[in-house]
Amino acid sequence: MPKFKFRLEAALSLAKRSLEEQQRRLAHETQKLFQLREACQEQERVWQFALEGQKEACQSSPQDLGLWQTFTQKQLELLRQREKQVLQQEDIVERQRERLLEAHQDSEKLKKLREKKKIVFNLKEQRREQAVLDEAGQIMFGRRNSS
């Protein structure tokens, strides 16, 4: 019995590798997003600390108020930068999810095509075997009747 060979096996193998690569990239970009979010939260805590320091300077040491205002402003600028980085990374993660989805769809299409081709191949083989068996049966029947 001949063995089933899928002509697009190389394409399927490449699609699977691409899918795995896209999964790795998504994991990497998601991890990066997580780290950026943590850094943003930490920066917000520092900014909140600076605001508290500024408020206390207003009440207890007005001579330090200028320093606290400068520090608070710098921390706010850093916070805005972090927030911008988080938004950019969220876009990158979303685009990577779309690439992963496309790679998954490509892989699934080829898997389904392979399964369909295998079913057709098996049906043809069963028909061929049945035809051989039918022919053998006719020959045996013909020999018995001619004896």
Express each pLDDT in 1-31 by its tens digit: 678 888 899 999 999 999 999 999 999 999 9
pLDDT at residue number 106: 96
Residue whose entry in the numeric block shows the structure tokens 């998504």: 26
Give the model's pLDDT for residue 97: 98
pLDDT at 1: 65
- Which DSSP letter does residue 63 get? G
Angstrom CA distances, 68 to 51, 53, 81, 124, stand at 8, 6, 20, 83
In this prediction, residue 40 carries a pLDDT of 97
Choose between 90 and 134: higher pLDDT: 90
Q: Longest Cα pair distance anywhere in the chain, in angstroms?
A: 126
pLDDT of 147 higher than 70: no
Q: Are 19 and 103 in contact (CB under 8 A)?
A: yes
Structure confidence at residue 3 (pLDDT): 87
Reported as half-sphere exposure (CB side, CA atoms, 13 A), residue 116 has a value of: 7
Mind listing the pLDDT tens digit for each residue in 56-112?
998 998 898 999 999 999 999 999 999 999 999 999 999 999 999 999 999 999 999
Cβ atoms of residues 88 and 10 within 8 Å: no
Mean of the pLDDT values across residues 132-136? 88
pLDDT at position 38 over 90: yes
What pTM was estimated for this model as a whole?
Answer: 0.75
Q: What average pLDDT does the structure give for the chain? A: 93
